[in-house]
Amino acid sequence: MISTIPQLGLGTWKLHGEQLISSLRSAFSLGYRHLDTAWIYHNEKEIGSLLSQSSIPRSELRITTKVRFDGLLTHQKAPFKLSDFSYSQLETRFHQTLQDLKTEYLDLVLLHRPSTPDNDAQAFETLLRLKKTGKIRQVGVSNFSFPQLELLYFRFGSEIFTNQIEWHVCLSSPELETFAKEKKLILTAYSPLAQGHLLSYAPFLALAEECQLPPAQLALAYLLTKGSIVIPKASSQERLQENFEAQKLVLAPKIIARLDQLPKHHRYCNPSFAPLNELL
């Protein structure tokens, strides 16, 4: 548990319909209490429907969602316009999210992606205003590079609870990690299995075999040891349980050191509009 957010959560990107419902039910039965979603995932209404029928008290759950700039950009859309990255719809979308998730408040709300410094600051101020009303417990960001996070931090300081980033055994940002540690910010790791690529990466698999651990457990335990919040996605009961039990592992320092030595430049979530260097 980090502050009030469980260190291991369940990611729900691309989960819909029966697969989503089955995954959530299995996760709850295993003890998961932290869910991660986003406006752009288009599954908040389905999640809300299940939560409204769950016997788990809302006070025991921690729900993270992410709000997004106005433009619905794809990896292919170009050229970009500054107006695409305004947050004029943020508050409207936030209240729709509350309605869809059938909850009176959210535990953690993030800006899903950076846009421009002025837009990000204005959007963050909106989140802080909503936080003061009690509709949000914590606020943060997602996919912010070190310069972007540093700039926002100098304006808002410790109001930034976390930066959710792609982070796994084969991808890290030493600058971000050092900055977060110095400022007592939490990093949240999405795609902690590198979108499945780790499960076919021979050097990592060899180390997992040496440790006599399932590869996914080793990958998650590594990030948990770093003090991050980790939100793997899983749909099968077996994989959900395997991931959940990663919390029990204590890795030897020599194993952590060897994992640290693996290449750290393999990024798998890199849309062309992030970061928006051509607009900054």
Catalytically active residues are: 41
- Backbone φ and ψ of 214, nearest 5°: -60, 135
Q: CB-side exposure of 10: number of CA atoms within 13 Å? A: 32
- Sequence-ordered alpha helix ranges (H) in the chain: 17-30, 44-53, 90-101, 117-132, 146-156, 174-183, 202-211, 215-225, 237-244, 253-260
DSSP β-bridge partners for residue 280:
none
Rg of the chain taking only CA atoms, in angstroms: 18
Is the peptide bond prior to 79 cis by the omega test (within 30 degrees of 0)?
Answer: yes
DSSP β-bridge partners for residue 8:
230
Long-range contacts of 194-201 (CB under 8 A, 24+ apart): 194/168, 194/169, 194/170, 194/266, 194/268, 195/268, 195/269, 197/170, 197/266, 197/268, 198/168, 198/169, 198/170, 201/170
DSSP β-bridge partners for residue 166:
190
Instruction: Round to whole Å and give the CA distance between 23 and 15.
Output: 8
DSSP 8-class letter at 185 = P
Task: Give the torsion sign (CA, 75, 233, 165, 256).
Answer: negative
Instruction: Please calculate the CA angle 188-125-182 and round it to the nearest 5 degrees.
Output: 40
